[in-house]
Each structure stands twice: as structure tokens, then as C-alpha cells.
Amino acid sequence: LRFVYYNFFQGNQDSEVLIHLAAVNLEESGINWLRHNLPNNYIKFELLCKNEIDNSAVCDVSVKYKTLPMMMKNVNREIVRRGLGQVINYTDNEHIKALHMIPRYNRLVQNLLLSESYADKRGVGKWKRPKLVEAVSGYPSQIVDMVKNSNIFIFLQICYTAGKEGAILLKNLSRHINTLALHIYTVIGKTLNLMSRFYRLFFKQ
């Protein structure tokens, strides 16, 4: 981050200072958040150490919003808490050196780790987890083929096919049974009608 400040020793000329948020690796979304939330507010920089590589100031930064003048918010922790950045890993030599030599830096890192754990549990920012549908659709085609060729999937496919064919068979059988029942009912009706006529013709004379 580059901040412009007024240099009293050079008169009206403005100067820039390169600042790193102590112990934080920023995401692009974190940079956008800083651009949106820091301007036109009171910002406090606490210098913890100097980065020997790029000669930047490694700071613990706080901001006081005009809407909440009695409250200071720690920017380093807020960035990590929102998942817009993460704690620098332990492969960074400058980070390891500061951890061992600067107590204030060490305490800040402990607080940042708590904020990172909070962001991870909530699944915000870079820790956001995909929804179930997106996760399944993102599986490699090899896994899909593996599932399709598994014994359980083949068994379920056979059961589905057998059930579908059985349902069609039962539907056709039911149609034939209804037709047969109607035919039998018609034949019985005609037979009873003939018997009734025969009875009246020969036994009632």
C-alpha cells in the first residue's frame, strides 16, 4: 500500500511511503476493501518493523470512521476476519524474524490467527465453500466414470430398468384384464337374457 504524506522538510512537496499490513497477505478483494473503507477517515499506523527486502514499513494499522468517532477498528484483523487476506505463512524469513524479536508483532499474529480461524469456520471470503451442487458439478469426469462403472451403480441401474419394464407390463396386463372382465360380463349378461327367454317360452305356457 502506498500512502501520500506531507513532507515538512521539503516544503509543499508530497512524498509517498510504502506500507505493509503486518503479518497479512492481502487478496485482491482485500485491496478493494481498503480502497473503499480507508480514504477520508482517521488512520493510525503503528510501526512494528522495517522490511529489509523492499524497505517498506510493516505496520499495525487502525482506522477511526467518521460515523463512529469513538471507536477504532484494527485493519489487519478486520481484513483477516472477513477472509480478504490470510496470515503470512512460516516460510517467510522476515515474518519468522519479527515473530521472535518483536513481542508486539507476536501478539498481533496470535490475534490474527484467531481471526483467520473465525473466517474459516464461517466460510467467508477466500474460505467460502462451494454449494453442494457446485461441488458435485466440479468433480473430474474420471470420478463420474468411476461411479458409473461401480457395482452399486450398475445394480441400481438394473433395478431401475427392471422396475420400469415391470410397471409397463403391469399397465398392459391391467388393460387386458379390464377388457377380459368386460367381455365376460357381456357374455354372462347375454346368457342370462337367453335363459330368461327360454324359461318364459317353455315353462309358463
Question: Could you report the average pLDDT of every consecutive run of 10 residues in the chain (205 residues)?
Answer: 48 68 93 90 89 85 77 92 92 87 93 94 88 56 59 72 77 73 76 74 62
Q: Is residue 153 part of a domain?
A: yes
First-to-last alpha carbon distance for the chain, in angstroms, is 123
How many structural domains are present in the chain? 2
Domain boundary, last residue among 129, 156, 176? 129
Residue 134 covered by a domain: no
pLDDT at 159: 78
Q: Is residue 135 part of a domain?
A: no
Q: State the residue range of the domain holding 48.
A: 2-129
Say what the pLDDT of residue 6 is. Answer: 44
Grid cell listed for 28: 485482491
Q: What is the pLDDT of residue 4?
A: 47
For 111, the enclosing helix (H) or strand (E) is helix 103-122
Query: For residue 5, what pLDDT is reported?
Result: 47
Backbone angles phi, psi at 129, to 5 degrees: -100, 140
**Number of Cα atoms under 13 Å in the Cβ half of residue 162:** 6
Q: What is the pLDDT of residue 191?
A: 80
Q: What is the pLDDT of residue 30?
A: 94
Q: What is the CATH number of the domain that holds 123?
A: 2.40.50.90
pLDDT score recorded for residue 143: 57
Q: What is the pLDDT of residue 134?
A: 54
* Domain identity same for 17 and 43: yes
Say whether both 105 and 162 belong to one domain: no
pLDDT of residue 64: 82
* 136 in any annotated domain: no
Taking the C-alpha atoms of residue 35 and residue 39, their distance in angstroms, rounded to an integer, is 7
Residue 147 and residue 76 share a domain: no
Q: Are residues 170 and 112 in the same domain?
A: no
Pairing of strands 14-21, 57-64: parallel
